[in-house]
C-alpha cells in the first residue's frame, strides 16, 4: 500500500513538537518555539499550554492557544462563537454566506419549522449555533422527514438550545488561515476514506492508514474508527469490513470532513484563486480587532465554477496543525508567519542548529500543574545555537555505580555555569520485545535500589558553544560515573538545560565520597 507524499516545516518536526501531538497545545508549542528561537521572551501560564505570553521590548501579546487574546477582544470572540452572528457580520460586508434562520429549540413549532424549510428550500443544513469540530452538523438534508429527525436529534439527545438552519452548498471543505491582510495557508479537508489495493480487506486498509496517521503530529489522535457511521457508508457502497476492494477503488467511510474522525488534509495553499483568498481576508476584517482566524470555505467541487464559493464559519482560535501537517502536500511554516506579523522587528536567526532546538516541556508544566508557580518563563537561548553537539557512551567494559545525589547537584551546577545542554541516561535499545521488557525491569530494579551498578549502558549528550565549554562537564562525568569514549557528532533534537535520568542516581545516603 503506497503512502501519500507530504512534507512538514523542518523547524517543527514531530520530534520537536512531541508532547503536544494531536492537541490544541500543538499550536501553542509551535508558536512559542518560533518566538523563543528568535530571542523573544516566552512565559507559560497554564500547564496545558492554553495560556502563554510572548514579549519583546516593544510589546507583549497574551495567547489563548493560537488566538492572540490580548489583541482579539472578548466581544469579537463571542461574535465568532455564535455562527448566526458571524454570518450576519460577513453578509453585511458583502462576503458570500449561506442563507439561514436561527431557531429557538423551545419555542419553534413543527409547522414553523416546516414553513422555514420550505422558504429556504431543500437541501438544507442544520447545526448548533455554538459548536466546533463539526459536532452536530447535519448536511444535505433533502426531505422533511430527514430535517425533522435531525432537528429532534439536536434539541433532544444533544440538548442544543439554538439551531441554525441554512441552505446547503456544494463544494469541498477548506480551512484557510488568515494572518493580518493575507491568507498564509489553505488545506482541503477530506472525509475519512481508504483506497483498495486488491490485496487487503477494508479493515486491514483502515489499520494501515491509522498506522501512517500515528506519525502525524496533528492527525495522530484522530484514527479511523469502525462505528455505526462507517458501517453505514460501507453498506451504501455494497461493502463490508472484510471485503477486499479492487486496486484503485476509492471507498468513503464518512461524509463529514473531520480530521479528528479520520479525515485527510491536503495542502492547497498554492491552488487557491485570488478571489477566494481576498474573500477570506475580508471575512476576518469584518470582525473588528480580529487579526488572525481560520476561515472555513466550501469551494472547488467538480460541479462548481472557479468563482463559486461560500464561507461557512470563522474560528478565532484556529488549530494551525491542520495546515502545518497535511496528509498530502507541503505544510506551510505557519509559526513563522505568526511571529513575523505580531513581532515584525524580530527575525528567525537562521542558525543551522536552531531547527533542532527545543525547551523541556515537562519542567515547564510541573510547577504550573502543582500550583507552585503562576507563570514559568523559558530561559533565553545563548547567542549561539550550541554548535558543538556530541554523544558519548561509557567506555566498553566500564562497570560503575550510580552517582550520589550530591554528585548530581555538582554536575547540574557545572552545566548551568558553563552553559552546557544535554543529558545522561541509560541507553534505550529496543530491538526486540524481550529486550524492551528487560530494560523496563532493569530500570525498575535500579529505582528500587536492589542493583547498585548500572554497567556500561549509559549515554551522555553534551552541547555547548565549543568543545572547551564542555570539557569540565566531561571530566566530572568521567570522575563520577566512569570513563567516556571519544564520542560522535549528535545530529538529533537537542533540549536545552541538562537532565540526569533518575535511574542513574542513588536514592540512598552517601554512596561514595562527594
Tell me 216's DSSP state: -
Cα gap 360→350, rounded to integer Å:
22
Q: How many whole angstroms separate alpha carbon 336 and alpha carbon 350?
A: 12
Residue 313's H or E segment, with its range, is strand 309-315
Distances (CA, A) of 114 to 165, 181, 212, 325: 11, 42, 46, 43
pLDDT in tens, 474-501: 999 998 888 889 999 999 999 999 999 9
Binned at pLDDT 50, 70 and 90, residue 139 comes out as confident
Backbone angles phi, psi at 205, to 5 degrees: -60, -40
Q: What is the pLDDT of residues 276-325, one digit of tens each?
A: 999 999 999 999 889 999 999 999 866 555 568 999 989 999 999 999 99
CATH 3.30.470.20 domain span(s) along the chain: 172-330
318-371: pLDDT as tens digits: 999 999 999 999 999 999 999 999 999 999 999 989 999 999 999 999 999 999
Is domain 384-504 annotated with CATH 3.30.450? Answer: no
Summarize pLDDT for 161-173 with one digit per residue, the tens.
889 899 998 889 9
Laid out side by side, the sheet with 138-141 consists of 100-104, 162-167, 124-128, 138-141
105 cis-preceded (ω within 30 degrees of 0): no
Q: What digits encode the pLDDT tens for the residues 360-411?
A: 999 999 999 999 999 999 999 999 999 999 999 986 555 556 889 999 999 9
Residue 19 to residue 237: CA distance in whole angstroms = 39
Residue 220 or 447, more confident: 220
| CATH T-level topology, domain 172-330 | D-amino Acid Aminotransferase; Chain A, domain 1 (3.30.470)
Q: What single DSSP character describes residue 94?
A: T
Cβ atoms of 492 and 428 closer than 8 Å: no
Instruction: Read off the pLDDT of residues 444-459 as tens digits, 9 standing for 90 and up.
Output: 555 544 444 444 478 9
Residues of the chain with CATH 3.30.70: 384-504
Sign of CA dihedral 303, 307, 313, 318: positive
Under 8 Å between Cβ of 341 and 293: no
CA distances from 102 to 24, 107, 116, 123, 405 (A): 30, 12, 10, 17, 65
d(CA 453, CA 476): 18
Q: What secondary structure letter does DSSP report for 144?
A: H
**Could you tell me which CATH class the domain 99-167 is placed in?**
alpha beta
Amino acid at each position: 500500500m503506497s503512502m501519500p507524499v507530504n512534507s512538514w516545516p523542518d523547524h517543527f518536526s514531530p520530534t520537536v513538537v512531541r508532547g503536544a501531538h494531536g492537541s490544541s497545545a500543538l499550536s501553542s508549542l509551535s508558536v512559542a518555539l518560533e518566538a523563543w528561537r528568535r530571542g523573544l521572551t516566552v512565559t507559560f501560564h497554564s500547564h496545558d499550554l492554553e495560556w502563554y505570553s510572548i514579549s519583546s521590548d516593544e510589546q507583549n501579546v497574551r495567547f489563548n492557544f493560537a488566538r492572540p487574546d490580548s489583541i482579539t477582544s472578548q466581544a469579537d470572540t463571542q461574535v465568532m462563537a455564535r455562527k448566526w452572528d458571524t454570518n450576519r457580520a460577513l453578509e453585511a460586508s458583502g462576503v458570500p454566506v449561506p442563507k439561514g434562520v436561527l431557531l429557538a429549540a423551545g419555542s419553534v413549532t413543527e409547522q414553523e419549522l416546516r414553513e422555514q424549510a420550505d422558504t429556504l428550500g431543500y437541501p438544507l443544513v442544520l447545526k448548533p449555533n455554538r459548536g466546533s469540530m463539526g459536532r452536530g452538523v447535519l448536511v444535505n438534508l433533502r426531505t422533511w422527514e430527514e430535517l425533522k429527525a435531525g432537528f429532534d436529534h439536536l434539541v433532544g439527545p444533544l440538548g442544543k438550545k439554538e439551531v441554525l438552519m441554512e441552505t446547503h452548498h456544494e463544494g469541498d471543505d477548506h480551512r484557510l488561515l488568515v494572518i493580518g491582510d493575507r491568507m498564509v495557508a489553505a488545506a482541503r479537508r477530506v472525509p475519512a476514506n481508504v483506497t483498495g489495493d486488491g490485496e487487503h480487506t477494508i479493515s486491514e486498509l483502515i489499520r494501515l492508514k491509522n498506522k501512517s496517521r500515528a506519525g502525524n503530529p496533528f492527525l495522530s489522535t484522530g484514527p479511523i474508527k469502525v462505528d455505526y457511521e462507517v458501517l453505514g457508508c460501507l453498506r451504501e457502497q455494497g461493502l463490508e469490513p472484510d471485503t477486499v476492494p479492487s486496486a484503485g477503488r476509492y471507498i468513503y467511510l464518512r461524509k463529514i470532513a473531520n480530521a479528528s474522525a479520520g479525515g485527510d488534509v491536503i495542502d492547497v495553499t498554492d491552488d487557491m484563486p485570488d478571489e477566494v483568498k481576498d474573500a477570506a481576508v475580508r471575512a476576518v476584517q469584518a470582525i473588528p480587532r480580529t487579526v488572525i482566524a481560520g476561515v472555513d470555505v466550501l469551494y472547488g467541487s467538480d460541479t462548481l465554477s472557479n468563482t463559486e464559493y461560500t464561507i461557512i464559519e470563522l474560528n478565532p482560535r484556529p488549530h494551525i496543525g491542520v495546515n502545518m501537517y497535511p496528509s498530502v502536500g507541503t505544510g506551510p511554516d505557519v509559526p513563522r508567519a505568526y511571529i513575523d506579523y505580531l513581532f515584525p522587528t524580530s527575525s528567525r536567526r537562521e542558525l543551522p542548529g536552531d531547527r533542532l532546538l527545543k525547551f523541556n516541556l515537562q519542567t515547564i508544566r510541573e510547577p504550573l500543574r502543582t500550583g507552585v508557580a503562576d507563570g514559568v518563563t523559558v530561559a533565553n537561548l545563548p547567542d549561539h545555537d550550541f554548535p558543538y553537539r556530541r554523544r558519548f557512551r561509557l567506555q566498553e567494559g566500564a562497570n560503575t555505580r550510580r552517582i550520589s545525589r550530591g554528585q548530581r547537584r555538582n554536575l547540574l551546577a557545572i552545566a548551568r555555569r558553563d552553559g552546557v545542554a544535554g543529558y545522561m541516561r541509560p541507553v534505550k535499545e529496543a530491538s526486540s520485545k524481550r529486550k524492551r521488557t528487560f530494560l523496563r525491569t532493569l530500570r525498575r530494579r535500579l529505582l528500587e535500589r536492589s542493583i547498585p551498578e548500572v554497567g556500561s549502558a549509559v549515554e551522555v549528550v553534551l552541547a555547548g558553544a565549543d568543545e572547551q565549554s564542555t570539557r569540565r562537564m566531561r571530566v566530572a562525568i568521567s570522575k563520577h560515573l566512569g570513563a567516556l569514549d571519544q564520542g560522535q557528532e549528535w545530529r538529533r533534537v537537542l533540549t536545552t538545560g541538562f537532565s540526569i535520568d533518575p535511574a542513574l542516581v542513588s536514592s540512598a545516603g552517601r554512596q561514595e565520597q562527594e
